[in-house]
C-alpha cells in the first residue's frame, strides 16, 4: 500500500524535515556574457520515511536497502535559479533506506545556474554566485529544508581546481530554518595569463609611444616607429576583443 506520491509522515499536519548539504566537485565553466555558471556537484538529502520501517530480525538481519528512486517518495528539491533547459541536472541514483526509516539520497549532477557577474575590475575580479535550492511544490509547512547537522558550509575536499578561476570558498546562507537553502560560491580570476597577454603588451606599447617623442621630428625612424606602434595597437586591440569577456553595459 506504499504510495510514492504521499508525503511519508504519520500525521498530515506533521512537518517533514529534510537535511540538505552539497559537495562541490568542479567549476566547469563561468560564462560572463550569458551570466551563468556550470558546476559539477553532489547533493545529499536525508529524511525519515515512517512507512519504510522494519525489524531486521524478521528479515534475516537486513538493516538497509538500495531502492530505485522512482519506488520511494523523494523531496522535489530543485535549483530555483537554474539556467538549464532540463532544469533538473541530477542523475537519479538509488535511495539508501535504513530499517529505522532514515533515507539517504545522494544524486550527482551537472548544474547550470544564473550568476550576476560584474567584470568592472577585470582581470582582477572576484565573483560570488548564489545557488538556491528548495522544494518546487511543497510549502514550508509540509517540508522543512535544513542544513545537515555536520555541514556549516559546502564540502570542497574533492574539488578539482579550475584553470581560470581560484575557488575562494562555498558558504551557506543562514543558520535559520527556511523553505529554501542558498549556497554562495566565491571565485577569483587567475591573473597570470591576463598579465602576460593584456597588461604587459599594453605597457610596452605605451612605452613605445612615449619613446617616439624623443626622436627628432625630421627623423625617418620616427615615422617607422609610429607605423609600428599603430600596427601593434591594431593587433593588440583585436587580441583584447577576444580576451575580454562580454558585458552588456559600459565599464566606465
pLDDT tens-digit profile of 95-110? 999 999 999 999 999 9
Total tally of structural domains belonging to the chain:
2
| 7 is a domain residue | no
pLDDT at 152: 60
Q: Identify the domain containing residue 238 by its residue range.
A: 193-243
Q: Name residues of the chain where pLDDT drops below 50.
A: 248-252
User: Residue 102 and residue 4: Cα distance in Å, rounded?
Assistant: 16
Q: Note whether 59 and 180 are same-domain residues.
A: yes
Q: Note whether 163 and 211 are same-domain residues.
A: no
pLDDT at 246: 63
| Unique residue bearing C-alpha cell 531486521 | 56
pLDDT at 247: 60
Neighbouring C-alpha atoms within 13 Å toward the C-beta of 52 = 27
| 21 is a domain residue | yes
Q: Note whether 82 and 171 are same-domain residues.
A: yes
Q: Note whether 58 and 145 are same-domain residues.
A: yes
Q: Note whether 155 and 200 are same-domain residues.
A: no
Per-residue pLDDT tens for 27-63? 999 998 889 999 999 999 999 999 999 999 999 999 9
pTM over cut 0.85: no
Amino acid at each position: 500500500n506504499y504510495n510514492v506520491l504521499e508525503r511519508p509522515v504519520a500525521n498530515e499536519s506533521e512537518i517533514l524535515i529534510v537535511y540538505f548539504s552539497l559537495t562541490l566537485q568542479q567549476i566547469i565553466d563561468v560564462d560572463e556574457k550569458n551570466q551563468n555558471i556550470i558546476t559539477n556537484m553532489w547533493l545529499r538529502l536525508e529524511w525519515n520515511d515512517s512507512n519504510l520501517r522494519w525489524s531486521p530480525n524478521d528479515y534475516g538481519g537486513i538493516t538497509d536497502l538500495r531502492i530505485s528512486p522512482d519506488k520511494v517518495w523523494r523531496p522535489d528539491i530543485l535549483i530555483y535559479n537554474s539556467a538549464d533547459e532540463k532544469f533538473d541536472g541530477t542523475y537519479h541514483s538509488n535511495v539508501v533506506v535504513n530499517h529505522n526509516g532514515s533515507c539517504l539520497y545522494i544524486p550527482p549532477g551537472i548544474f547550470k545556474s544564473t550568476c550576476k557577474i560584474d567584470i568592472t575590475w577585470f582581470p582582477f575580479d572576484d565573483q560570488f554566485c548564489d545557488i538556491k535550492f528548495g522544494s518546487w511544490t511543497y510549502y514550508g509547512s509540509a517540508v522543512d529544508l535544513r542544513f545537515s547537522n555536520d555541514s556549516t558550509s559546502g564540502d570542497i575536499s574533492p574539488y578539482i581546481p579550475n584553470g581560470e578561476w581560484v575557488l575562494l570558498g562555498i558558504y551557506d546562507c543562514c543558520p535559520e530554518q527556511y523553505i529554501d537553502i542558498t549556497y554562495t560560491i566565491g571565485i577569483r580570476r587567475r591573473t597570470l595569463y591576463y598579465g602576460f597577454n593584456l597588461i604587459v603588451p599594453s605597457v610596452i606599447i605605451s612605452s613605445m609611444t612615449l619613446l617616439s617623442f624623443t626622436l627628432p621630428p625630421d627623423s625617418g625612424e620616427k615615422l617607422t616607429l609610429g607605423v609600428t606602434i599603430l600596427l601593434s595597437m591594431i593587433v593588440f586591440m583585436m587580441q583584447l576583443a577576444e580576451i575580454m569577456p562580454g558585458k552588456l553595459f559600459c565599464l566606465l
